[in-house]
């Protein structure tokens, strides 16, 4: 059957047009229509004047509930998918507790911070953002880090990420961001990847995203484990004390085991070998009694600091460097129990930024204001009823009393005659002006406007600060990530547009990416609403390598063994790893294991074809001469060694393993350590505390 002209046109390749662009007062770009172009409207057909900013009181005021366009846009977006989450669909969670260090009554009346040593039940869900439930764990992506604290004054949800900034400054742009990063609608791919035209088209037209792009193109977006990544509340909140005095606060979760990520080549191979790598790691560590732990730290500051800081504290694309305000530890989070049932708990848990206890309040961050408005819609759509708080994982663990009743799946209703208040029966709960939640009485004034504050307009300076704060190795990884992602973009104009932004961040970065993409003539730097600054100092807190662990605790060594391996040396290695707080996993030619030199059977966890070295933090080769000779003929064994070397891991080996090293193309360096004695094992473990031998990377040229 012949296509109609309309259908034929719809199947033609998209064409990049020069768009009419106008810059708002906050530096945001607006694609505006002329008299010949289609005019953006609401679903009711009403023309839209501004699709970039929510309606606020003044340029820095709170978002207004009367903003029908934002309400319609976010309402429709929240209901796009059933039953899985639109974003953060692939998640994994665990139970635990939060333990308060000292009273913070000076800053907040939140009950959770009143008594030192008190433990509060917690549930934490980690997730990727862009992929579906069936996607893989090691996608290059933001990681959700959502914490539900079951306090004595109700549930407190700190719904954050492993990155402290975000792509956009105003929540009205969130549907567009997610539409752009998700699979392209005409072809339904790529899945769980940002390396495609739509995403980079959106980003290249959104200068406010440049700081976030530096983070997501860094190794922060491919963490080694949930246990080895930071979490952030992203937004500026308020603490409010018993005297109704306000202190601004930002939340940081810092892992006790230090930071660690993988490299991209490794991530790709992990996704093939074990798409559940992060899930399995959390499951194994908790069930082994090696409980993950984070410290909650807060950055506290007053209005005077907010007014004097170089950037707007309401801008979610900015950070306050730790060198300016040092995060103060206020408690620890420990995960010590896996859910009894994944669906009942991890899948049905509902997080909402608006869930805060008395003593914690919101700022006018426009992204936070929009999230507060949006999340209730999301839970209603996903969980099917306004009674989602009746599901045990979402139910408060403190007494609760209200007059809400009926609805789908109601598990409880008010008891007695009165289901309303006020009533004359002396029945039911009553409000409590002193104990109840009170919003901070901040003064607001201004016109009702759709504007971006001019203080939000600097989109490049902190992006540059992040880049120069990385080690040379990390900077190289950012350039490699950008090159890879943009190499998947089929439209040259988009690639060039992105390079024009990179040149505003760092000339060397922009030039490197351009050269790798084969862009012969550098584009001019992108027009900047505010001239980028080059005087912001580097911040060591922004580097993963500079914030690694001081031990090998919590890590895993893959030990490749063969028949006839030295049983005594293997036992010494296992004992040393246990003392370090690390574990080892036996990899063998057959999953049934091998017979060691003393005749004992060494059981294997993995066979060589299913246990590649990408699954481990370091490797050891405990082979007999015959075993090494045989394994050197097997591609999987050669890859086991070659990948470990290419990924800059430390490699210990028995003398007999040399033929396999030679076949794998391994050249001796300080990270390839012969094992012959207890002293050699000690040297190996001391080296492993560095996690990687980055000095090797220029030689392997991944």
DSSP conformation class of 23: E
The helix/strand/coil state of 562 is: coil
Of 53, 155, 161, 364, catalytic: 161
- CB-facing half-sphere around the CA of 171: CA atoms within 13 A: 30
Q: Is the peptide bond before 190 cis (omega within 30 degrees of 0)?
A: yes
Token pair 């003064």 is at which residue? 443
Task: Give me the residues paired with residue 246 across strands.
Answer: 240
Tell me the C-alpha distance between 287 and 279, whole Å: 12
The reply to whether 477 belongs to the active site is no
The reply to whether 161 belongs to the active site is yes
Q: What is the dihedral of CA 568, 574, 579, 582, to 10 degrees?
A: 160
Q: Report which of 185, 187, 178 is spatially closest to residue 141, judged by C-alpha positions.
A: 178
Contact 43, 77 (CB under 8 A): no
DSSP string, 358-405: TTEEE---HHHHHHHHHHHHHHHHHHSSTTGGGSGGGS-SS-------
Q: Which residues, including other chains, have CB under 8 Å from residue 630's CB and lie 6 or more apart?
A: 562, 589
Tell me the C-alpha distance between 363 and 250, whole Å: 11
| Burial status of residue 388 (CB atoms within 10 A of its CB: 0-12, 13-18, 19 or more) | buried
Contact 275, 473 (CB under 8 A): no
Of 88, 477, 647, 653, catalytic: 88
Token pair 């730097």 is at which residue? 525
| Burial status of residue 630 (CB atoms within 10 A of its CB: 0-12, 13-18, 19 or more) | middle
Tell me the C-alpha distance between 676 and 484, whole Å: 42
Query: What count of other Cβ atoms lies within 10 Å of the Cβ of residue 349?
Result: 22
Token pair 């499951």 is at which residue? 283
- CB-facing half-sphere around the CA of 245: CA atoms within 13 A: 8
| Burial status of residue 79 (CB atoms within 10 A of its CB: 0-12, 13-18, 19 or more) | middle
Tell me the C-alpha distance between 31 and 22, whole Å: 6
Token pair 């934002």 is at which residue? 70
User: What is the CA 29 to chain-centroid distance, rounded?
Assistant: 26
Report phi then psi at 441, rounded to 5.
Answer: -85, 65
Q: Is the peptide bond before 422 cis (omega within 30 degrees of 0)?
A: yes
| Terminal C-alpha separation, the chain | 50
The residues assigned a catalytic role are 88, 161
């Amino acid at each position: 059957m012949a296509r109609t002209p309309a259908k034929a046109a719809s199947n033609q390749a998209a064409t990049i047009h020069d768009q009419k662009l106008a810059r708002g007062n906050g530096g945001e770009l607006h694609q505006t229509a002329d008299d010949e172009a289609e005019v953006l409207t609401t679903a009711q057909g009403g023309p839209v004047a501004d699709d970039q900013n929510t309606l606020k009181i003044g340029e820095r005021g709170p978002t207004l509930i009367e903003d029908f366009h934002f309400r319609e846009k976010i309402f429709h977006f929240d209901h796009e998918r059933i039953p899985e989450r639109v974003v953060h669909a692939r998640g994994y969670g665990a139970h635990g507790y939060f333990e308060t260090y000292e009273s913070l009554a000076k800053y907040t009346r939140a009950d959770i911070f009143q008594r030192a040593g008190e433990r509060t039940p917690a549930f934490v869900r980690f997730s990727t953002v862009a992929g579906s439930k069936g996607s893989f764990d090691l996608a290059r992506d933001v990681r959700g880090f959502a914490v539900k604290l079951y306090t004595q004054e109700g549930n407190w949800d700190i719904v954050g990420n492993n990155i402290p900034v975000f792509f956009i400054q105003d929540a009205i742009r969130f549907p567009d961001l997610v539409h752009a990063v998700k699979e392209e609608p005409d072809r339904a791919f790529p899945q769980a990847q940002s390396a495609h035209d739509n995403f980079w088209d959106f980003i290249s037209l959104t200068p406010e995203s440049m700081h976030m792009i530096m983070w997501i193109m860094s190794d922060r977006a491919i963490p080694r484990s949930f246990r080895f990544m930071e979490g952030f509340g992203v937004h500026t909140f308020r603490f409010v004390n018993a005297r109704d005095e306000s202190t601004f606060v930002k939340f940081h979760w810092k892992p006790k085991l230090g930071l660690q990520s993988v490299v991209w080549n490794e991530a790709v191979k992990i996704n093939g070998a074990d798409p559940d790598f992060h899930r399995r790691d959390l499951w194994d560590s908790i069930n082994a009694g090696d409980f993950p732990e984070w410290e909650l730290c807060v950055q506290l500051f007053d209005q005077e600091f907010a007014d004097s800081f170089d950037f707007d504290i309401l801008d979610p694309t900015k950070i306050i460097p730790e060198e300016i305000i040092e995060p103060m530890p206020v408690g620890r989070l420990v995960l010590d129990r896996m859910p009894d049932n994944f669906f009942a708990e991890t899948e049905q848990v509902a997080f909402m930024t608006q869930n805060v206890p008395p003593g914690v309040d919101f700022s006018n961050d426009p992204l936070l204001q929009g999230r507060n408005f949006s999340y209730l819609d999301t839970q209603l759509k996903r969980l099917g009823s306004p009674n989602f708080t009746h599901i045990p994982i979402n139910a408060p663990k403190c007494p609760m009393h209200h007059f809400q009743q009926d609805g789908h799946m109601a598990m409880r209703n008010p008891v007695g005659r009165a289901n309303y208040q006020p009533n004359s029966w002396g029945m039911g709960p009553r409000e409590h002006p002193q104990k109840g939640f009170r919003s901070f009485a901040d003064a607001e004034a201004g016109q009702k406007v759709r504007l971006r504050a001019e203080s939000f307009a600097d989109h490049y300076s902190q992006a540059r600060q992040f880049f120069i704060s990385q080690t040379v190795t990390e900077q190289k990884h950012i350039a490699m990530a950008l090159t890879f992602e943009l190499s998947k973009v089929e439209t040259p104009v988009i690639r060039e547009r992105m390079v024009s932004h990179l040149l505003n961040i760092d000339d060397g970065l922009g030039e490197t990416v351009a050269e790798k993409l084969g862009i012969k003539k550098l584009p001019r730097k992108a027009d900047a609403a505010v001239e980028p600054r080059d005087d912001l100092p580097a911040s060591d807190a922004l580097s993963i390598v500079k914030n690694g662990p001081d031990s090998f605790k919590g890590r895993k060594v893959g030990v490749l063994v063969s028949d006839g391996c030295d049983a005594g040396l293997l036992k010494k290695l296992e004992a040393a790893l246990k003392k370090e707080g690390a574990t080892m996993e036996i990899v063998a030619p057959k999953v049934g294991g091998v017979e060691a030199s003393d005749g004992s059977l060494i059981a294997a966890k993995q066979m060589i074809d299913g246990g590649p070295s990408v699954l481990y933090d370091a490797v050891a080769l405990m082979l007999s001469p015959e075993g090494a000779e045989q394994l050197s003929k097997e591609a999987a064994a050669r890859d086991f060694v070659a990948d470990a070397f290419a990924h800059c891991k430390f490699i210990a080996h028995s003398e007999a393993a040399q033929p396999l090293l030679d076949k794998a193309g391994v050249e001796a360096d300080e990270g390839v350590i012969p094992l012959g004695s207890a002293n050699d094992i000690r040297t190996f473990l001391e080296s492993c505390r560095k996690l990687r031998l980055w000095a090797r990377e220029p030689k392997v040229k991944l």
